A and B are shown apart, each in its own frame.
Chain A
């Protein structure tokens, strides 16, 4: 006697087929919902804010009158803070990644550092704000300045840079390094002349992702003490400042409709900047992937 009768098998198969279609429809719906939300968000922001965008909006300082308010100070503040954060995180992060991948002995200490970095990547960003407030603003007496903000964000994005760089360095074929050592090069020469150029696209992609994370961060800078209303351009590393996301936050929190429109316009600027950076990262990765055929 057959294990499963023909009739039973086919009846069961019909049910399985239907279940399969239902499940497939569910999966498609889930994906579609995510896309619809993204579309709704973009549509909402564009329909609210696009008409508000103008050159004046970019060059004006904030104002009590929503129609005159602009993002000049916020844009400059973001550029200052993010440049500092990017430079510091990039140099320290790549250094740490080189150490962990090329120099550190595999063992308890290295895996402890590794675990620590993974955990740092998961620490809520607002906690970095508290750290920055205490260490940079109060103990190091940098004040609530551009440099303190930049260093705070640098610590925040450091794990991203380290992890991305480590992955890029790990992808370097061992044969390449062995070739270098066989020619009598020292470790550092191998790292600098062979490993880093090869890993560079990956490292750069990670760095751009880290910077775009820094561009969008709000909470740590609020906690660290960035201002919300800044009618002046930052004039140096010790200047007080605001950044674009904080400006948007400020406008969203106000009751007047006009400020909500300004917030939407600010969001458009922020998203354009971020999308450009992401596109650049994709472009770089693509270009270098083609170029680095060893």
Chain B
């Protein structure tokens, strides 16, 4: 198991997330390695997105959601009492299932995060750097003032990635970032993710097993138990998971027998 390794950026200890009184995921313990890509896979509705959203306290925004257990980010529990969720989200960025650019110009989409967080340097440079980082610069450099909504779906998603890069987070969470995109745009995002993993720790939720196999270093398989509560079945090197899974449920899932 990966958890034995030292270089962990995020470590969850017995994490459960409840909606009201019903747990969506329960007893999850795993470690996310620094500057690697970790994929969370599993059948739809198994709670992998819920788990992902607990990493940057996005679930706090849902009034009925409650999290128990500990999530250590660089050794500190982000659910400790004195922790400000806003600061956590500044350090742990997120890209969503559907591209959600703000109805602002491309430039302002990127500049939004740095501005609110008190960036006082050269904004033009930062915008350019972020767009280059998201492999979007060449396509939009002549129209930075046009609305982000005018881009194609794939471009919008890369804009959202650029927007996330602009605040220089340590970790980037990606919630099925390609599910609304066509295959070519998907390929571009996957390539980008490989590039980004040199500097960033990435956690990606996907229901596309080929995608997990293509891009990730580690893969966690989550599924629902008989009470419909998400649990972690197996977590290992991606190659190990896809070639030689130890749990029969994992094998059944990756060979397409359910899910």
Contacts and interface: CB of A to CB of B under 8 A. Distances in A.
- Chains A and B directly touch (beta carbon < 8 Å): yes
Interface of A: 2-4, 8-9, 11-13, 16
A16 B114 CA distance: 14
B247 interface: no
Contacts of B210: none
A9 B168 contact: no
Interface stretch (B116-124, B151-159, B186-194, B237-245): B116-124
A9 B167 CA distance: 12
Contacts of B117: 4, 9, 12
Interface string B71-95: 0000000000000101100100000
18 contacts: A2-B168, A3-B119, A3-B121, A3-B126, A3-B167, A4-B114, A4-B117, A4-B118, A4-B120, A8-B118, A8-B120, A9-B87, A9-B90, A9-B117, A11-B118, A13-B84, A13-B86, A16-B116
Max count, chain A CB within 10 A of own CB: residue among B87, B118, B119, B120:
B118
Contacts of B114: 3-4
Nearest to B86: A13
Interface string B15-47: 000000000000000000000000000000000
A2 B168 CA distance: 8
Contacts of A2: 168
B103 to A, nearest CB: 22
A40 B84 CA distance: 40
A8 B114 CA distance: 12
Among A3, A8, A16: residue with most chain B CB under 10 A: A3
Please give me the 9 A-B residue pairs with the lowest Cβ-Cβ distance, nearest first: A12-B118, A3-B168, A4-B119, A4-B118, A4-B117, A8-B118, A3-B119, A9-B118, A9-B117
Contacts of B121: 3
A146 B168 CA distance: 73
A12 B117 CA distance: 7
Contacts of B168: 2-3
A11 B119 CA distance: 12
Interface string B97-115: 0000000000000000010
A11 B120 CA distance: 13
Contacts of A16: 116
B93 to A, nearest CB: 12
A11 B87 CA distance: 12
Contacts of A8: 118, 120
Contacts of B118: 4, 8-9, 11-13
B87 to A, nearest CB: 7
Contacts of A4: 114, 117-120
